């Protein structure tokens, strides 16, 4: 999809930012379900420098300015810590926002599209399925480290850019609404999936009850801790940088840990149709707990630690619910690339929930053994 129009559009967008080299080329990168992402190369006196130009989907994020304010605060904080510790690789260890020519954090073009620009992190890549136990440890350590560095972020509470983002009860109720409306006449085909979810309704209130009791703390969290939102250094195999900071906002660390379990323990992609390939691999879970605990034990409370195993199941269930809801509503939220794509994704996630239900005891045993 590298068309002339695309390239011309990206070139025009690039001109709005404090990118001063000569435009060479642009091409799409990234596999997100929400935003469009491009890499663009610029020539600076014979040296090629790469940037990322990315849209902010304002249907999903109604206030892109607040998204960018959150990202700016978090990345600036991280950068100042890296600089203070004289880290020689500081430039690759956090996203760097490039402002527009008039010093704004984003640009709104005539077509009504919001754009932002980052420095491209080179010599690193992301993985859609987990490659090794060490990689699982790395990814978990990176997200734990990210949370840890935000424990003492100075200033006001971050903006809640998508209110109730991980509110499982609200997600469940939205599914029930979609079933009732059945605007696309798709509920009959998914009847057994819907019933399966309803049998698991109890799960949706577990963490919310703890929040209401005041025992599960609010922290600053990433909220989209997929395996492929951590960049892994090409040479060392170490996690170098946590990316996709759109949903950085107040939340529970359990949502972050759970989303990591959901995406880093299954050997299959999130939209794999052959669900016999979908399984929660307990050795990967063990590596995640190990990596996460090493980087979070300094701040994690007992209630958080005691719900690490549950959080994986909850997040797989919740994202599955969101995919199924979007399927019933006509695929209006997540990008789809084939018919029934969201239904396939939902069934894949439900299979992962079943796999975790079967291994619940073993998961708790891992946490008990590792987190001491």
Q: Minimal distance in Å, beta carbon 169 to ligand GN1? A: 17
- Which residue bears the tokens 């935000």? 150
60 binds, among ligand GN1, Mg ion, none (CB under 5 to 8 A by kind): ligand GN1
Interface size with ligand GN1, residues (CB under 6 A): 10
Residue the block writes with tokens 């690789």: 89
In the list ligand GN1, Mg ion, none, the entry touching 319 (Cβ below 5 to 8 angstroms by class) is: ligand GN1
Shortest distance in whole angstroms from residue 244 CB to ligand GN1: 6
The residue (of 224 and 286) whose beta carbon lies closer to Mg ion is 224
Burial of 112 (0-12, 13-18, 19+ CB in 10 A): exposed
Name the residue nearer to ligand GN1 (CB basis): 224 or 329. 224
145 interacts with, out of ligand GN1, Mg ion, none, CB within 5 to 8 A per kind = none
Tell me if 153 contacts ligand GN1 by CB under 6 A: no
DSSP-assigned beta bridge partners for residue 135: none
**What is the rounded distance in angstroms from the CA atom of residue 357 to the CA atom of residue 372?**
24
Residue spans of alpha helices (H) in the chain: 4-14, 64-84, 133-150, 168-181, 191-198, 206-212, 253-264, 282-296, 302-306, 308-328, 341-358, 360-370
User: Quick one: 136 or 248, whose CB is closer to Mg ion?
Assistant: 248
- Percent of the chain as helix, strand, coil, to the nearest 5: 45, 15, 40
Binding ligand GN1 (rule: CB under 6 A), the pick from 14, 32, 144, 258 is 32
A 10 A CB-CB count for 127 gives 16
Residue whose Cβ sits closest to Mg ion: 224
**Binding of ligand GN1 at residue 307 (CB under 6 A)?**
no
Residue 247 found at the interface with ligand GN1 (CB under 6 A)? yes
Dihedral, 205, 202, 371, 320 alpha carbons, nearest 10: -90
Residue 105 binds what, of Mg ion, ligand GN1, none (CB under 5 to 8 Å, by partner type)? none
Least distance in angstroms from the C-beta of 270 to ligand GN1: 6
Backbone torsions φ then ψ of 245, nearest 5 degrees: -95, 15
* Rounded distance between C-alpha atoms, residue 94 and residue 92, angstroms: 6
User: Do residues 232 and 58 lie in contact, with contact meaning Cβ atoms separated by under 8 Å?
Assistant: no
Name the site residues for Mg ion (rule: CB under 5 A). 224, 244
CA 93 to chain centre: 17
- The 323-362 contact track toward ligand GN1, x by CB under 6 A, reads ----------------------------------------
In the list 73, 200, 222, 226, the residue contacting ligand GN1 (rule: CB under 6 A) is: 226
Phi, psi of 292 (to 5 degrees): -70, -45
CA atoms within 13 A of residue 275's CA, in its CB half-sphere = 13
Name 280's Cβ contacts closer than 8 Å, sequence gap at least 6. Answer: 261, 265, 266, 312, 352, 355, 356, 359, 363
| Range in contact with ligand GN1 (rule: CB under 6 A) among 26-34, 86-94, 235-243, 357-365 | 26-34
Q: Does 224 bind ligand GN1 (CB under 6 A)?
A: yes
Q: Which stretch binds ligand GN1 (CB under 6 A): 28-36, 75-83, 182-190, 283-291?
A: 28-36
Site for ligand GN1 in 33-62 (CB under 6 A): 33-34, 60
Q: Which of 36, 244, 331, 344 binds ligand GN1 (CB under 6 A)?
A: 244
Question: Least distance (Å) from Mg ion to the CB of residue 247?
Answer: 6
Closest CB to ligand GN1 among 60 and 98?
A: 60
By CB under 6 A, name the binding residues for ligand GN1: 32-34, 60, 224, 226, 244, 247, 270, 319
């Amino acid at each position: 999809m590298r068309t002339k129009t695309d390239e011309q559009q990206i070139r025009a967008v690039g001109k709005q930012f404090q990118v001063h080299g000569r435009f060479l080329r642009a091409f799409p990168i990234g596999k997100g379900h929400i935003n469009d992402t491009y890499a663009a190369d610029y020539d600076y006196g014979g040296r090629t420098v790469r940037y990322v130009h990315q849209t902010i989907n304002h249907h999903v994020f109604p206030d892109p300015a607040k998204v960018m304010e959150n990202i700016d605060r978090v990345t600036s904080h991280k950068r100042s810590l890296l600089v203070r510790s004289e880290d020689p690789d500081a430039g690759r260890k956090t996203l760097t926002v490039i402002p527009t020519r008039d010093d704004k954090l984003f640009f709104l073009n005539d077509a009504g599209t919001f754009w932002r620009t980052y420095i491209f992190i080179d010599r690193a890549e992301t993985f859609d399925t987990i490659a090794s136990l060490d990689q699982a440890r790395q990814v978990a350590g990176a997200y734990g480290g990210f949370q840890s560095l935000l424990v003492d972020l100075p200033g006001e509470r971050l903006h809640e850019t998508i209110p109730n983002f991980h509110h499982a009860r609200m997600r469940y109720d939205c599914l029930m609404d979609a079933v009732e409306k059945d605007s696309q006449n798709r509920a009959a085909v998914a009847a057994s999936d819907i019933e399966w979810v309803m049998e698991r309704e109890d799960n949706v209130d577990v963490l919310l009850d703890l929040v209401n009791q005041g025992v599960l703390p609010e922290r600053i969290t990433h909220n989209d801790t997929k395996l492929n939102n951590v960049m892994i250094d090409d040479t060392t195999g170490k996690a170098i940088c946590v990316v996709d900071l759109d949903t950085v906002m107040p939340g529970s660390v359990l949502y972050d840990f759970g989303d990591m379990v959901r995406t880093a323990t299954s050997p299959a992609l999130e939209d794999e149709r052959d669900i016999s390939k979908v399984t929660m691999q307990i050795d990967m879970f063990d590596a995640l707990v190990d990596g996460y605990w090493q980087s979070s034990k300094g701040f994690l409370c007992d209630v958080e630690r005691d719900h690490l195993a549950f959080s994986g199941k909850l997040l797989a269930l919740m994202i599955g619910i969101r995919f199924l809801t979007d399927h019933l509503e006509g695929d209006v939220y997540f990008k789809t690339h084939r018919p029934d794509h969201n239904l396939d994704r939902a069934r894949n996630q439900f299979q992962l929930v079943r796999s975790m239900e079967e291994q619940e005891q073993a998961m708790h045993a891992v946490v008990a053994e590792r987190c001491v």
